[in-house]
Chains A and B, each alone.
Chain A
Amino acid sequence: MIRTCKNCGGRVAFDVELKGLACASCGTLWDVSDFGEEDMLYNEEEPKKLMEDDTFDCSVYQCGSCGAEISITNTEVSTFCIYCGNPSIVFSRVSKMKKPDSILPFKITKEQAMAAVRERINKGFFIPKEIKNYEIEHMRGIYIPYYITNVEYDASYITSSVHKKGKNSVTYYYKRSGYASMPWVTTDASTTLSDSTSQRLEPYNLKETRTFDEDYLVGFYADASDVESDSAISLAKKRASNVFEDEIMKSFTGTSKKIVRKRQRAEVYTKPVTSMLPAWFLTFRYNNQPYTIIVNGQTGKIVGGVPWNKSLFAGLVAGIGLVASIVFVPILSIIFASTEGDDSFKLFLFLALAAGSAFISGTKHISKVLKSIERTSASTLTKFVSNRQKGG
Protein backbone atom coordinates (compact mmCIF):
# COMPACT_ATOMS: atom_id res chain seq x y z
CA MET A 1 0.00 0.00 0.00
CA ILE A 2 1.40 3.41 -0.97
CA ARG A 3 0.35 6.96 -0.22
CA THR A 4 1.07 9.18 -3.24
CA CYS A 5 1.20 12.93 -3.60
CA LYS A 6 -1.95 14.50 -5.09
CA ASN A 7 0.23 17.02 -6.99
CA CYS A 8 2.92 14.94 -8.64
CA GLY A 9 2.23 11.28 -7.71
CA GLY A 10 5.47 10.97 -5.73
CA ARG A 11 5.69 8.95 -2.53
CA VAL A 12 4.67 10.70 0.71
CA ALA A 13 5.85 9.89 4.21
CA PHE A 14 5.07 11.35 7.65
CA ASP A 15 7.53 14.19 8.45
CA VAL A 16 8.12 14.49 12.19
CA GLU A 17 9.34 18.09 12.09
CA LEU A 18 6.60 19.40 9.78
CA LYS A 19 3.97 17.16 11.43
CA GLY A 20 2.36 16.17 8.17
CA LEU A 21 2.74 13.96 5.08
CA ALA A 22 5.59 15.37 2.97
CA CYS A 23 6.16 14.52 -0.70
CA ALA A 24 9.73 13.42 -1.41
CA SER A 25 9.48 14.69 -5.04
CA CYS A 26 7.76 18.09 -5.04
CA GLY A 27 8.00 18.94 -1.33
CA THR A 28 4.26 19.57 -0.86
CA LEU A 29 3.09 19.14 2.71
CA TRP A 30 -0.26 17.42 3.29
CA ASP A 31 -2.27 17.07 6.45
CA VAL A 32 -3.04 13.53 7.58
CA SER A 33 -6.76 14.26 7.16
CA ASP A 34 -6.23 15.14 3.44
CA PHE A 35 -5.97 11.44 2.59
CA GLY A 36 -8.91 9.06 2.74
CA GLU A 37 -9.80 5.54 1.64
CA GLU A 38 -10.12 6.62 -2.03
CA ASP A 39 -6.49 7.85 -2.10
CA MET A 40 -4.93 4.48 -1.33
CA LEU A 41 -3.03 2.93 -4.24
CA TYR A 42 -2.38 -0.78 -4.23
CA ASN A 43 0.28 -2.76 -6.04
CA GLU A 44 -0.86 -3.83 -9.49
CA GLU A 45 -0.94 -7.48 -8.42
CA GLU A 46 -3.34 -6.74 -5.57
CA PRO A 47 -7.01 -6.14 -6.28
CA LYS A 48 -8.22 -2.76 -5.10
CA LYS A 49 -10.46 -3.42 -2.15
CA LEU A 50 -12.13 -1.66 0.70
CA MET A 51 -10.50 -2.29 4.05
CA GLU A 52 -12.37 -3.52 7.09
CA ASP A 53 -13.17 -0.81 9.60
CA ASP A 54 -10.99 -1.99 12.45
CA THR A 55 -7.94 -3.46 10.65
CA PHE A 56 -5.33 -2.27 8.18
CA ASP A 57 -2.90 -4.05 5.84
CA CYS A 58 0.79 -4.30 6.58
CA SER A 59 3.82 -6.26 5.39
CA VAL A 60 5.43 -8.41 8.09
CA TYR A 61 9.18 -9.01 8.07
CA GLN A 62 10.80 -11.67 10.24
CA CYS A 63 14.39 -11.72 11.50
CA GLY A 64 16.24 -14.97 10.84
CA SER A 65 18.44 -14.41 13.87
CA CYS A 66 16.21 -13.42 16.82
CA GLY A 67 12.77 -14.22 15.37
CA ALA A 68 11.40 -10.68 15.88
CA GLU A 69 8.57 -9.60 13.59
CA ILE A 70 8.24 -6.04 12.34
CA SER A 71 5.27 -4.58 10.46
CA ILE A 72 5.58 -1.89 7.78
CA THR A 73 2.65 -0.16 6.13
CA ASN A 74 4.36 1.14 2.98
CA THR A 75 6.49 -0.50 0.35
CA GLU A 76 9.78 0.37 2.02
CA VAL A 77 11.85 -2.75 2.31
CA SER A 78 13.29 -3.61 5.68
CA THR A 79 16.99 -4.44 5.38
CA PHE A 80 17.96 -5.19 9.00
CA CYS A 81 16.40 -6.18 12.28
CA ILE A 82 15.88 -3.20 14.56
CA TYR A 83 16.05 -5.39 17.67
CA CYS A 84 19.31 -7.27 17.09
CA GLY A 85 20.86 -5.47 14.09
CA ASN A 86 21.13 -8.66 12.03
CA PRO A 87 20.77 -8.08 8.27
CA SER A 88 19.10 -11.48 7.67
CA ILE A 89 15.55 -10.17 7.70
CA VAL A 90 13.06 -11.58 5.19
CA PHE A 91 9.57 -10.74 4.06
CA SER A 92 7.17 -13.10 5.78
CA ARG A 93 3.60 -12.25 4.77
CA VAL A 94 0.97 -9.57 4.33
CA SER A 95 -1.09 -9.35 7.46
CA LYS A 96 -4.01 -7.43 8.87
CA MET A 97 -3.23 -5.46 12.02
CA LYS A 98 -5.98 -4.39 14.37
CA LYS A 99 -6.27 -0.62 14.47
CA PRO A 100 -5.48 0.82 17.89
CA ASP A 101 -7.77 3.47 19.37
CA SER A 102 -5.13 6.20 19.37
CA ILE A 103 -1.60 7.08 18.33
CA LEU A 104 1.03 9.49 19.65
CA PRO A 105 2.85 10.94 16.61
CA PHE A 106 6.63 11.30 16.61
CA LYS A 107 7.83 14.66 17.95
CA ILE A 108 11.59 14.05 17.91
CA THR A 109 13.09 13.76 14.42
CA LYS A 110 15.59 11.05 13.50
CA GLU A 111 18.37 13.66 13.28
CA GLN A 112 17.54 15.02 16.74
CA ALA A 113 17.50 11.49 18.18
CA MET A 114 20.85 10.65 16.58
CA ALA A 115 22.41 13.90 17.85
CA ALA A 116 21.10 13.26 21.38
CA VAL A 117 22.49 9.71 21.39
CA ARG A 118 25.84 10.90 20.01
CA GLU A 119 26.08 13.56 22.75
CA ARG A 120 25.14 11.09 25.47
CA ILE A 121 27.64 8.49 24.29
CA ASN A 122 30.46 11.04 24.14
CA LYS A 123 29.86 11.91 27.80
CA GLY A 124 30.21 8.31 29.00
CA PHE A 125 33.51 7.88 30.90
CA PHE A 126 33.60 4.09 30.60
CA ILE A 127 32.25 3.84 27.04
CA PRO A 128 34.89 2.34 24.69
CA LYS A 129 36.45 4.64 22.08
CA GLU A 130 35.22 2.43 19.20
CA ILE A 131 31.63 3.10 20.23
CA LYS A 132 32.26 6.84 20.61
CA ASN A 133 33.61 6.88 17.04
CA TYR A 134 30.78 4.70 15.73
CA GLU A 135 28.85 6.10 12.74
CA ILE A 136 25.14 5.96 13.59
CA GLU A 137 23.41 4.39 10.58
CA HIS A 138 20.79 1.90 11.64
CA MET A 139 18.23 4.02 13.46
CA ARG A 140 14.57 3.33 12.80
CA GLY A 141 11.33 4.76 14.12
CA ILE A 142 8.92 2.20 15.51
CA TYR A 143 5.47 2.53 17.04
CA ILE A 144 5.20 0.36 20.14
CA PRO A 145 1.73 -0.90 21.08
CA TYR A 146 0.56 0.06 24.58
CA TYR A 147 -2.55 -0.22 26.68
CA ILE A 148 -3.68 2.85 28.60
CA THR A 149 -5.82 1.81 31.56
CA ASN A 150 -7.91 3.89 33.92
CA VAL A 151 -7.26 2.57 37.43
CA GLU A 152 -9.03 3.78 40.58
CA TYR A 153 -6.85 2.93 43.58
CA ASP A 154 -7.55 3.11 47.30
CA ALA A 155 -5.19 1.87 50.02
CA SER A 156 -4.22 2.03 53.67
CA TYR A 157 -0.70 1.35 54.97
CA ILE A 158 1.20 1.03 58.23
CA THR A 159 4.84 1.79 57.44
CA SER A 160 8.03 2.09 59.48
CA SER A 161 11.43 3.71 59.28
CA VAL A 162 14.54 3.90 61.45
CA HIS A 163 15.90 7.14 62.90
CA LYS A 164 19.16 7.84 64.76
CA LYS A 165 18.75 9.25 68.28
CA GLY A 166 22.27 9.91 69.53
CA LYS A 167 23.98 6.53 69.76
CA ASN A 168 20.68 4.59 69.52
CA SER A 169 18.27 3.85 66.68
CA VAL A 170 14.53 4.21 67.02
CA THR A 171 11.84 2.74 64.76
CA TYR A 172 8.84 4.97 64.11
CA TYR A 173 5.52 3.84 62.61
CA TYR A 174 3.29 5.80 60.27
CA LYS A 175 -0.24 5.49 58.96
CA ARG A 176 -0.98 6.49 55.37
CA SER A 177 -4.44 6.16 53.77
CA GLY A 178 -5.53 7.68 50.52
CA TYR A 179 -7.01 7.40 47.08
CA ALA A 180 -5.71 8.09 43.59
CA SER A 181 -7.47 8.23 40.24
CA MET A 182 -4.97 7.11 37.60
CA PRO A 183 -6.47 7.41 34.10
CA TRP A 184 -3.12 7.10 32.29
CA VAL A 185 -1.55 3.84 33.48
CA THR A 186 0.55 2.54 30.58
CA THR A 187 1.58 -1.06 29.99
CA ASP A 188 3.20 -2.22 26.78
CA ALA A 189 1.17 -4.59 24.64
CA SER A 190 4.06 -6.41 23.00
CA THR A 191 6.02 -9.32 24.42
CA THR A 192 8.94 -8.42 22.13
CA LEU A 193 9.95 -5.52 24.34
CA SER A 194 10.60 -6.30 28.01
CA ASP A 195 8.37 -4.47 30.52
CA SER A 196 11.36 -2.98 32.34
CA THR A 197 12.62 -1.43 29.06
CA SER A 198 9.22 -0.02 28.05
CA GLN A 199 8.75 1.43 31.56
CA ARG A 200 12.14 3.14 31.37
CA LEU A 201 10.99 4.89 28.16
CA GLU A 202 8.30 6.66 30.19
CA PRO A 203 6.88 9.12 30.86
CA TYR A 204 4.95 9.95 27.70
CA ASN A 205 2.64 12.97 27.69
CA LEU A 206 -0.51 11.11 26.69
CA LYS A 207 -2.55 14.29 26.33
CA GLU A 208 -0.88 14.69 22.91
CA THR A 209 -2.29 11.40 21.55
CA ARG A 210 -4.54 11.55 18.49
CA THR A 211 -7.30 9.33 17.19
CA PHE A 212 -5.55 6.62 15.18
CA ASP A 213 -4.94 7.27 11.51
CA GLU A 214 -2.88 4.90 9.45
CA ASP A 215 -1.09 7.77 7.73
CA TYR A 216 0.93 8.48 10.87
CA LEU A 217 2.60 5.09 10.36
CA VAL A 218 3.93 5.90 6.88
CA GLY A 219 7.72 5.86 7.00
CA PHE A 220 7.85 4.02 10.32
CA TYR A 221 7.69 0.43 11.57
CA ALA A 222 5.13 -0.93 13.99
CA ASP A 223 5.21 -3.75 16.47
CA ALA A 224 2.10 -5.91 16.68
CA SER A 225 0.12 -6.14 19.88
CA ASP A 226 0.15 -9.68 21.30
CA VAL A 227 -1.07 -9.07 24.86
CA GLU A 228 -4.73 -9.57 25.76
CA SER A 229 -6.58 -6.76 27.52
CA ASP A 230 -7.23 -8.94 30.60
CA SER A 231 -3.47 -9.36 31.12
CA ALA A 232 -3.09 -5.63 30.54
CA ILE A 233 -5.64 -4.88 33.28
CA SER A 234 -3.85 -7.01 35.90
CA LEU A 235 -0.49 -5.50 34.89
CA ALA A 236 -1.97 -2.01 35.13
CA LYS A 237 -3.31 -2.68 38.63
CA LYS A 238 0.12 -3.92 39.69
CA ARG A 239 1.80 -0.81 38.23
CA ALA A 240 -0.73 1.44 39.93
CA SER A 241 0.02 -0.29 43.23
CA ASN A 242 3.80 0.11 42.75
CA VAL A 243 3.71 3.84 41.91
CA PHE A 244 1.21 4.52 44.74
CA GLU A 245 3.49 2.78 47.24
CA ASP A 246 6.57 4.63 45.91
CA GLU A 247 4.74 7.91 46.50
CA ILE A 248 3.69 6.85 50.01
CA MET A 249 7.29 5.92 50.89
CA LYS A 250 8.40 9.45 49.95
CA SER A 251 5.99 10.97 52.47
CA PHE A 252 8.11 10.21 55.55
CA THR A 253 11.81 10.31 56.47
CA GLY A 254 14.25 7.82 57.93
CA THR A 255 16.20 4.79 56.74
CA SER A 256 15.23 1.14 56.24
CA LYS A 257 11.74 2.18 55.16
CA LYS A 258 9.24 -0.64 54.82
CA ILE A 259 5.55 -1.43 54.62
CA VAL A 260 4.49 -3.32 57.73
CA ARG A 261 0.86 -3.95 56.78
CA LYS A 262 -1.37 -2.88 53.93
CA ARG A 263 -4.88 -3.07 52.58
CA GLN A 264 -5.54 -2.07 48.99
CA ARG A 265 -8.20 -2.02 46.33
CA ALA A 266 -7.69 -1.39 42.60
CA GLU A 267 -10.65 -1.11 40.24
CA VAL A 268 -10.80 -0.79 36.46
CA TYR A 269 -14.25 0.19 35.14
CA THR A 270 -13.59 0.76 31.44
CA LYS A 271 -11.81 -1.36 28.84
CA PRO A 272 -8.19 -0.26 28.32
CA VAL A 273 -7.54 2.06 25.40
CA THR A 274 -5.05 0.71 22.85
CA SER A 275 -2.45 3.14 21.57
CA MET A 276 0.78 3.31 19.63
CA LEU A 277 3.63 5.25 21.19
CA PRO A 278 6.75 6.33 19.28
CA ALA A 279 10.36 5.31 19.83
CA TRP A 280 13.61 5.44 17.84
CA PHE A 281 15.64 2.23 17.88
CA LEU A 282 19.40 2.28 17.31
CA THR A 283 21.08 -1.11 17.00
CA PHE A 284 24.80 -1.70 16.76
CA ARG A 285 27.23 -4.57 17.28
CA TYR A 286 30.32 -4.53 19.51
CA ASN A 287 32.57 -7.57 19.92
CA ASN A 288 29.97 -9.57 17.99
CA GLN A 289 27.25 -8.76 20.54
CA PRO A 290 24.13 -6.75 19.59
CA TYR A 291 23.20 -3.67 21.61
CA THR A 292 20.11 -1.47 21.34
CA ILE A 293 19.60 2.13 22.41
CA ILE A 294 16.02 3.38 22.39
CA VAL A 295 14.94 7.02 22.29
CA ASN A 296 11.47 8.14 23.41
CA GLY A 297 10.00 9.58 20.19
CA GLN A 298 8.14 12.34 22.05
CA THR A 299 10.41 13.49 24.89
CA GLY A 300 13.84 12.36 23.61
CA LYS A 301 14.64 10.35 26.74
CA ILE A 302 17.42 7.88 25.95
CA VAL A 303 17.25 4.33 27.31
CA GLY A 304 19.81 1.58 26.97
CA GLY A 305 22.81 -0.23 28.34
CA VAL A 306 26.05 0.14 26.41
CA PRO A 307 29.28 -1.86 26.72
CA TRP A 308 31.89 -0.66 29.18
CA ASN A 309 35.68 -0.51 29.08
CA LYS A 310 36.56 -3.26 31.59
CA SER A 311 40.29 -2.56 31.72
CA LEU A 312 39.71 1.15 32.43
CA PHE A 313 37.21 0.21 35.16
CA ALA A 314 39.58 -2.31 36.77
CA GLY A 315 42.43 0.21 36.60
CA LEU A 316 40.37 2.93 38.28
CA VAL A 317 39.19 0.56 41.04
CA ALA A 318 42.78 -0.54 41.64
CA GLY A 319 44.02 3.08 41.68
CA ILE A 320 41.37 4.38 44.08
CA GLY A 321 41.64 1.23 46.22
CA LEU A 322 45.41 1.64 46.50
CA VAL A 323 45.24 5.32 47.47
CA ALA A 324 42.47 4.63 50.00
CA SER A 325 44.45 1.71 51.45
CA ILE A 326 47.47 3.99 51.99
CA VAL A 327 45.18 6.26 54.05
CA PHE A 328 43.07 3.63 55.87
CA VAL A 329 45.80 1.15 56.91
CA PRO A 330 47.93 3.54 59.03
CA ILE A 331 44.85 5.19 60.59
CA LEU A 332 43.35 1.84 61.59
CA SER A 333 46.74 0.61 62.87
CA ILE A 334 47.12 3.67 65.08
CA ILE A 335 43.57 3.33 66.42
CA PHE A 336 44.07 -0.36 67.15
CA ALA A 337 47.48 0.14 68.73
CA SER A 338 46.04 2.71 71.18
CA THR A 339 43.60 0.20 72.75
CA GLU A 340 44.22 -2.82 74.97
CA GLY A 341 42.59 -6.01 76.19
CA ASP A 342 38.77 -6.29 75.83
CA ASP A 343 38.50 -2.85 74.23
CA SER A 344 40.92 -4.04 71.58
CA PHE A 345 38.77 -7.05 70.77
CA LYS A 346 35.54 -5.05 70.67
CA LEU A 347 37.16 -2.46 68.42
CA PHE A 348 38.44 -5.19 66.11
CA LEU A 349 34.94 -6.65 65.81
CA PHE A 350 33.41 -3.26 65.13
CA LEU A 351 36.02 -2.35 62.50
CA ALA A 352 35.80 -5.80 60.89
CA LEU A 353 32.04 -5.33 60.57
CA ALA A 354 32.47 -1.88 59.05
CA ALA A 355 35.14 -3.06 56.61
CA GLY A 356 33.09 -6.10 55.62
CA SER A 357 29.97 -3.94 55.07
CA ALA A 358 31.95 -1.53 52.90
CA PHE A 359 33.27 -4.37 50.76
CA ILE A 360 29.87 -6.09 50.46
CA SER A 361 28.14 -2.78 49.60
CA GLY A 362 30.66 -2.16 46.85
CA THR A 363 30.24 -5.61 45.29
CA LYS A 364 26.42 -5.48 45.60
CA HIS A 365 26.31 -2.08 43.94
CA ILE A 366 28.46 -3.09 40.97
CA SER A 367 26.37 -6.22 40.54
CA LYS A 368 23.15 -4.15 40.57
CA VAL A 369 24.57 -1.69 38.00
CA LEU A 370 25.72 -4.46 35.66
CA LYS A 371 22.28 -6.15 35.86
CA SER A 372 20.60 -2.84 34.99
CA ILE A 373 22.90 -2.33 31.99
CA GLU A 374 22.30 -5.92 30.87
CA ARG A 375 18.50 -5.50 31.03
CA THR A 376 18.39 -3.19 28.04
CA SER A 377 21.15 -4.68 25.97
CA ALA A 378 19.85 -6.22 22.77
CA SER A 379 20.79 -9.72 23.90
CA THR A 380 18.12 -9.43 26.60
CA LEU A 381 15.60 -8.10 24.10
CA THR A 382 16.32 -10.98 21.71
CA LYS A 383 15.95 -13.46 24.60
CA PHE A 384 12.39 -12.18 25.07
CA VAL A 385 11.73 -12.65 21.39
CA SER A 386 13.14 -16.20 21.41
CA ASN A 387 11.03 -17.06 24.46
CA ARG A 388 7.96 -15.76 22.69
CA GLN A 389 8.72 -17.94 19.65
CA LYS A 390 9.05 -20.97 21.94
CA GLY A 391 5.75 -20.08 23.59
CA GLY A 392 7.38 -18.86 26.82
Chain B
Amino acid sequence: MEDFALVIGFILGVPAAFGMALLICSSILNKSNNFGDSKGDLMAFSTSGIQGRNYRDRISRNTNLDPVVNPTMIAADREASGYTPPPTIEEEIASASNINNVQWHK
Protein backbone atom coordinates (compact mmCIF):
# COMPACT_ATOMS: atom_id res chain seq x y z
CA MET B 1 0.00 0.00 0.00
CA GLU B 2 2.80 2.36 0.90
CA ASP B 3 4.57 1.58 -2.39
CA PHE B 4 1.30 2.24 -4.23
CA ALA B 5 0.89 5.57 -2.43
CA LEU B 6 4.44 6.48 -3.37
CA VAL B 7 3.78 5.66 -7.03
CA ILE B 8 0.60 7.79 -6.98
CA GLY B 9 2.51 10.59 -5.29
CA PHE B 10 5.13 10.39 -8.02
CA ILE B 11 2.57 10.32 -10.86
CA LEU B 12 0.79 13.39 -9.48
CA GLY B 13 3.67 15.23 -7.89
CA VAL B 14 6.11 15.39 -10.80
CA PRO B 15 3.72 17.00 -13.37
CA ALA B 16 2.53 19.44 -10.71
CA ALA B 17 6.12 20.30 -9.79
CA PHE B 18 7.26 20.83 -13.36
CA GLY B 19 4.08 22.74 -14.20
CA MET B 20 4.85 25.08 -11.34
CA ALA B 21 8.49 25.35 -12.49
CA LEU B 22 7.35 26.27 -16.02
CA LEU B 23 5.00 28.91 -14.60
CA ILE B 24 7.75 30.48 -12.50
CA CYS B 25 10.40 30.41 -15.23
CA SER B 26 8.08 31.73 -17.96
CA SER B 27 7.15 34.67 -15.67
CA ILE B 28 10.88 35.40 -15.23
CA LEU B 29 11.38 35.06 -19.03
CA ASN B 30 8.51 37.46 -19.69
CA LYS B 31 10.04 40.10 -17.39
CA SER B 32 13.53 39.49 -18.80
CA ASN B 33 13.06 39.26 -22.59
CA ASN B 34 9.68 40.76 -23.39
CA PHE B 35 10.02 44.52 -23.43
CA GLY B 36 7.06 46.87 -23.13
CA ASP B 37 4.22 44.36 -23.11
CA SER B 38 1.47 46.89 -22.40
CA LYS B 39 -0.76 49.04 -24.59
CA GLY B 40 -2.32 52.47 -24.15
CA ASP B 41 -5.45 52.45 -22.01
CA LEU B 42 -8.57 54.64 -21.95
CA MET B 43 -6.80 57.51 -20.20
CA ALA B 44 -4.31 57.72 -23.09
CA PHE B 45 -7.24 58.40 -25.45
CA SER B 46 -9.57 60.41 -23.22
CA THR B 47 -9.06 63.25 -20.76
CA SER B 48 -12.42 62.75 -19.05
CA GLY B 49 -12.60 58.93 -18.83
CA ILE B 50 -15.88 57.01 -18.68
CA GLN B 51 -18.88 59.00 -17.55
CA GLY B 52 -20.97 56.32 -15.93
CA ARG B 53 -24.73 56.42 -16.32
CA ASN B 54 -25.81 53.22 -14.59
CA TYR B 55 -23.52 51.09 -12.45
CA ARG B 56 -25.36 48.34 -10.55
CA ASP B 57 -23.91 45.26 -8.84
CA ARG B 58 -25.47 41.84 -8.20
CA ILE B 59 -28.33 42.18 -10.62
CA SER B 60 -30.43 39.43 -12.13
CA ARG B 61 -28.92 37.70 -15.17
CA ASN B 62 -31.99 38.64 -17.24
CA THR B 63 -31.80 42.38 -16.54
CA ASN B 64 -32.26 44.43 -19.70
CA LEU B 65 -29.44 46.41 -21.25
CA ASP B 66 -29.76 50.20 -21.20
CA PRO B 67 -30.33 51.85 -24.56
CA VAL B 68 -27.23 53.46 -26.04
CA VAL B 69 -27.52 57.20 -26.37
CA ASN B 70 -26.79 59.20 -29.48
CA PRO B 71 -23.61 61.13 -28.59
CA THR B 72 -24.99 64.30 -30.22
CA MET B 73 -27.85 64.21 -27.73
CA ILE B 74 -25.31 64.01 -24.96
CA ALA B 75 -23.57 67.04 -26.46
CA ALA B 76 -26.86 68.99 -26.46
CA ASP B 77 -27.52 68.07 -22.82
CA ARG B 78 -24.04 69.12 -21.89
CA GLU B 79 -24.41 72.46 -23.59
CA ALA B 80 -27.65 73.08 -21.72
CA SER B 81 -25.94 72.35 -18.41
CA GLY B 82 -23.05 74.75 -19.15
CA TYR B 83 -20.43 72.02 -19.52
CA THR B 84 -17.23 73.08 -21.30
CA PRO B 85 -15.85 70.27 -23.46
CA PRO B 86 -12.11 69.61 -23.49
CA PRO B 87 -10.24 71.17 -26.46
CA THR B 88 -10.07 69.15 -29.66
CA ILE B 89 -6.72 67.95 -30.90
CA GLU B 90 -6.76 70.66 -33.59
CA GLU B 91 -7.22 73.32 -30.93
CA GLU B 92 -4.44 71.86 -28.78
CA ILE B 93 -1.98 71.73 -31.68
CA ALA B 94 -2.89 75.21 -32.90
CA SER B 95 -2.40 76.76 -29.46
CA ALA B 96 0.90 74.89 -28.93
CA SER B 97 2.19 75.98 -32.34
CA ASN B 98 0.97 79.52 -31.77
CA ILE B 99 -0.79 79.52 -35.10
CA ASN B 100 -4.26 81.02 -35.31
CA ASN B 101 -5.51 79.89 -38.69
CA VAL B 102 -4.98 76.19 -39.19
CA GLN B 103 -6.35 74.62 -42.35
CA TRP B 104 -7.71 71.17 -41.57
CA HIS B 105 -8.97 68.66 -44.06
CA LYS B 106 -12.68 68.18 -43.28
Contact = CB atoms under 8 A, between A and B. Distances in A.
A206 B46 CA distance: 11
Given A200-B36, A206-B89, A302-B36, 10 more contacts: A126-B33, A150-B89, A160-B61, A178-B50, A209-B96, A271-B104, A293-B35, A308-B32, A334-B5, A359-B22
B26 A366 contact: yes
Interface in A112-163: 120, 123-127, 148, 150-158, 160
B5 A362 contact: no
Contacts of A185: 45
A207 B92 contact: yes
Interface in A193-214: 199-204, 206-211
Interface residues of A, number: 115
A332 B13 contact: yes
Interface in B73-96: 74, 85-86, 88-90, 92-94, 96
Given A173-B60, A317-B25, A359 B40 contact: no
Interface in A292-333: 293, 301-308, 313, 316-325, 327-333
A307 B29 CA distance: 10
Contacts of B60: 173
Contacts of B18: 317, 321, 324-325, 359, 362
Interface string B1-43: 1100110111011111111111111111111111111111110
A261 B19 CA distance: 35
Contacts of B52: 176-178
Interface stretch (A59-67, A77-85, A89-97, A239-247): A239-247
A56 interface: no
B44 A181 contact: no
Nearest to A199: B39
A309 to B, nearest CB: 9
A43 B104 CA distance: 32
Given A308-B29, A359-B16, A261 B65 contact: yes
A267 B26 contact: no
A313 B17 contact: no
Contacts of B37: 200, 372
Contacts of B59: 158, 173-175
A243 B42 contact: yes
A354 interface: yes
Contacts of B67: 156, 263
Contacts of A246: 41-42
Contacts of B27: 365
B71 A179 contact: yes
Contact of A150 (B10, B38, B88, B96): B88
B69 A301 contact: no
A258 interface: no
B55 to A, nearest CB: 6
A126 B32 contact: yes
Contact of A179 (B39, B74, B97): B74
A180 B41 contact: no
B106 A270 contact: yes
A182 B45 contact: yes
B14 A325 contact: yes
Contacts of A373: 29, 33-34
Contacts of A206: 89, 92
A26 interface: no
Contacts of B42: 180, 182, 243-244, 246-247
Nearest to A260: B61
Interface in B48-62: 48-61
A50 to B, nearest CB: 18
Contacts of B15: 355-356, 358-359
Interface string A94-120: 000000011000000000000000001
